[in-house]
Amino acid sequence: MKRFSLIALLLSYLLIIAFVAYYPKFNKQGTEATISYDVAGYYFYLPAIFIYNDIHHLAFQEATNNKYQYTPGSYQGVQLSDGSYTMKYTIGAAIMYAPFFFAAHTWANIAGINDDGFSPPYQRMISFGCLLYAFLGLWLLRKILLQYFSETATGLTIISLVLATNYLNYSAIDNAMTHNLLFTVFTGIIWFTIKFYKKPNYKYAIILGLLCGLATIIRPTDILICLVPIFWGVTNLTALRERLVLLFNHRLKVLSFIAFAAVIGSIQLMYWKITTGQLLFYSYEDQTFDWTNPHIIEGFFSYKKGWWLYTPFMLIIIPGFILLYKNHRPLFLPIFLFTLVNIYIVFSWSIWWYGGSLGQRSLIESYALLSLPIAAVFQALTKVKKWTWALTACFVGFTGWYNIVLTIQAHNPTGILDAENTNRTYFWATFGRLTIDNDSKRFLDTDEIYRGDGSKSEVLYENNIEYDTLHVDTMQIINGKKCLFVDKNHQNTQPYRIPNPPNGSKWLRVSATFFVTEKVWDVWKMPQFIIQFKNEDEVVKTKFIRVHRLMNSNQKRNLFFDVEIPTKRYTTIDIFLWNADGITATYMDDIRVEVLE
């Protein structure tokens, strides 16, 4: 159908706009604003240079963060030995934000709005600018795909990419993250690579150099994209030799590519030289690569952040690469080579799940390349029977539904999707759901579910704390006259030893009543309600829940969790509350343990 790909492109734009409207980050405050967390780190260069004239100390950060609360800490800058700072993140994203930053700064000055770099004009313009970059990237992708594939294959690839992958989230909602920007830069590199080999000239060589340099200073590991201009169209060793001859014959153009890539790259080197005295500086401190132990299995399949678990549509690249090799051999080598090396690099990073994100955000820019094997699948489907189309439609429909659900879960006010702590139990307890009982969040800590109804139980242990003397509070009463507490100076209650359950027992239900004056949001500082099975001094099994996951400030609640009794020999069972090195007080009363049938 003529112009099918254009219709698909416009529908993709509308879907992205719909999710911008669903969760408009440019209207949000605090850590949900467009300029927050990592984006604030990418962006800091602009206010530091053009508003505060402070690239050495970033003194503005404390005042602006106190006002806008865009990040709970100040990790965006790295403190040096002399007390000054350098940025943690490289400068490339700031360069792409720059036109919209200057537009926002002009707007703020004309309208008399606070021109501090973080007020509403800046939030809106950065978000709007990144939306335009997303539209540009998809527009270029359409032009690329139409060079090799039909209108139908091109259109289906574009709409599937937006509908069924986490690119939707990073083009619509979290679009100021680097991955959206890099997707567009990658499409530009592919497009001008095609143009260069059709007609080698200085213009295309210079543009390619600028784009490759920009990709590198947005995310240094993405220097890998240079494989694409080198190997594009190469199918074998003979073709590789011919490519090297071609590049030698156009060596001045190749040198111009290198020179302009170096010019862009030198911006980062100059910044490091000014702030640290070194041309090269490693700003990620204790975060690094583990080249000998890449997290490939976890990266693809883990419940925490497995790529194919959270973006199952991308399983389509398996037949896609086979079809690309069979039917579009000149495209196969650069894309397959880039994909292999990129996956190795991405999953060798020590924080291989890349923090709080929807799925594997680190792979989104590579979708620009992976769109070609995807299109190869849709192209091949035009020649098969209707039932194969029906299966494909079901696959795309399911993965599209699933991706939209995940995107809504990620930005649901109750925080259904936990981007860093999901395990198998919690994953399936919340699968496909747009609302959950807050108690379900206990499964982020304990992965055991008792499948009975709990109607038949036998009390094994009870303690109302009325006769205790250690870690007892008599002022903040929950029930009776006393309760236990933990705070900054009292990190643990005493361990309460409970009787061993009768032989043949399989499950225990552990409960207590808690009172929280101020909710702790840092998951690593949340107090833990713990049960521990020990064999003499050896710990056999430990299970716990983080109390503050399930509570709000100034709330009293009875909380419980179930634990399967270990089959391994144990001699004692202890229950206690640990404050996890936190400073906030938490109160506990009415400990109860039941044996469940």
342-347 contacts: CB < 8 A, separation 24 or more? 342/224, 342/366, 343/296, 343/299, 344/294, 344/296, 345/221, 345/224, 345/289, 346/221, 346/299, 347/294, 347/295, 347/296, 347/298, 347/299
The answer to pTM > 0.85 is yes
Any idea how long the chain is? 597
Whether 92 contacts 214, CB under 8 Å? yes
Distance of CA 49 to the CA centre of its chain: 28
Q: For the chain, what percentages of helix, strand and coil (3-state, to nearest 5) are there?
A: 50, 15, 35
Whether 309 contacts 353, CB under 8 Å? no
**Numbers of helices and strands, H then E, in the chain:** 20, 12
Supply the pLDDT for residue 474. 79
Tokens describing residue 225? 């994209």
* pLDDT tens per residue across all 597 residues of the chain: 679 999 999 999 999 999 999 999 999 999 999 999 999 999 999 999 999 999 999 999 999 999 999 988 778 888 898 889 999 999 999 999 999 999 999 999 999 999 999 999 999 999 999 999 999 999 999 999 999 999 999 999 999 999 999 999 999 999 999 999 999 999 999 999 999 999 999 999 999 999 999 999 999 999 999 999 999 999 999 999 999 999 999 999 999 999 999 999 999 999 999 999 999 999 988 889 999 999 999 999 999 999 999 999 999 999 999 999 999 999 999 999 999 999 999 999 999 999 889 999 999 999 999 999 999 999 999 887 777 888 899 999 999 999 999 999 999 887 899 888 899 999 999 999 998 888 889 999 998 999 887 778 899 999 999 888 877 877 888 898 899 999 999 999 999 999 999 988 999 999 999 999 999 988 889 999 999 999 998 999 999 999 999 998 999 999 999 999 999 999 999 999 999 999 999 999 999 999 997
Sign of CA dihedral 396, 342, 351, 285: negative
Task: Please list the residues that pair with 559 across neighbouring strands.
Answer: 512
Q: Would you state the torsion angle of the CA atoms of residues 417, 423, 429, 432, taken in this order, to the nearest 10 degrees?
A: 50
The Cα 218–Cα 240 span in angstroms is: 29
Helix (H) or strand (E) holding 407: helix 386-410
Residue-range domains of the chain with CATH: 4-409 (no CATH), 452-596 (2.60.120.260)
Supply the pLDDT for residue 24. 95
